[in-house]
Amino acid sequence: MTGKVVVITGSNAGIGREAAVALARRGATVVITSRSELRGGPAREYVRRHSRAGDRIVLLDLDLASFASIEAFAAQVLDRFDRLDVLINNAGGVLSDRRETREGFEMTFGVNHLGHFYLTQLLLDRLLASAPARVITTASIAHRTGTMLWTDLERSGGYVGTDAYCQSKLANVLFTLELARQFDPAALTANCCHPGAVRSGFASAEDTRGFERFIVALGRPFMVSPRRGAKPLVVLAASPRFEGVSGGYWVGGYVPGVHRHRPSRQARDPEAGARLWSISEQYIEQTLRKGT
């Protein structure tokens, strides 16, 4: 990875932070993200200390719940780096209560899918100019129980945190497979992964309560460490084995190695992938028009 530039969202903790350490150890310049210096500063020092990468670890502010923040972040990446080899769309969460992004989108859909979709669009030309480039998205086995509620993607008619989360993870897989269909794998590959159930700050007390909180607490003793959970991200980003490999859903976790699995039937539906892509573009275009 020497000489390569990697961007990892959601890298101030958990598997994103451990992936940053591992890729920096392999020689990459790694851009880690956080919503503020207060949150991100300790993460930057952690990654620098454990990777011994020094100034090759760059911290930039990014709030995926704000289009303005996404645009400012992308502008900084494009200004500071003349290449971008790997984009890892890793940030995400689950919420027990319905919240909204700065633009008024339901938060789980807005952050887990739409924010990453917009960020990828803004960085796409630089990725293609750095070919062969890779886009990796953290999905989840939860996508298998997800349903795209096309008439109400933002769950305004009735909100259940786990349903919104599973839908967003299904959206991650649909987005990945559609991105893979659109580009020659010699120029850009797109893959997603389930890292396993990871013992991290995911589903923290400030985000979940009740059923969601109970499920996380119940499973915590059986979860894998963030370092082990980061393995699929690291392998997909760095291994020569994945040169030209695109459109895959990969699973890590307790099972040694990283293995390709078949995603759900809904996730494999090309019409659903194209529909989600079109809707996402419309959401962004409509929002930008409102702001002009």
Is-catalytic flag, 165? yes
In the predicted model, is pLDDT for residue 200 greater than 60? no
Catalytic residue among 46, 118, 165, 283: 165
Range 174-180 average pLDDT: 98
| CA proximity to 113, closest of 160, 165, 156, 78 | 165
In the predicted model, is pLDDT for residue 291 greater than 90? no
DSSP state of 55: G
Q: What is the pLDDT confidence band of residue 37, given thresholds at 50, 70 and 90?
A: confident
Rounded to the nearest angstrom, the gap between the alpha carbon of residue 41 and the centroid of all alpha carbons in its chain is 21
Residues 6+ apart with CB under 8 A from 151: none
* Predicted local confidence at residue 251, as pLDDT: 93
Mean pLDDT of the chain: 91
User: Which amino acid belongs to residue 22?
Assistant: A
CATH of residue 61's domain is 3.40.50.720
In the predicted model, is pLDDT for residue 149 greater than 80? yes
For residue 142, the enclosing domain spans 5-291
In the predicted model, is pLDDT for residue 202 greater than 60? no
| CA proximity to 289, closest of 103, 65, 66, 102 | 103
* Predicted local confidence at residue 217, as pLDDT: 54
* Predicted local confidence at residue 201, as pLDDT: 52
Structurally, the chain folds into a number of domains equal to: 1
* Predicted local confidence at residue 208, as pLDDT: 47
* Predicted local confidence at residue 25, as pLDDT: 97
Range 167-188 average pLDDT: 98
In the predicted model, is pLDDT for residue 209 greater than 60? no
Q: What is the pLDDT confidence band of residue 214, given thresholds at 50, 70 and 90?
A: very low
Q: What is the pLDDT confidence band of residue 143, given thresholds at 50, 70 and 90?
A: very high
The least confident of 36-45, 214-223, 242-251 is: 214-223
Q: What is the pLDDT confidence band of residue 268, given thresholds at 50, 70 and 90?
A: very high
* Predicted local confidence at residue 211, as pLDDT: 56
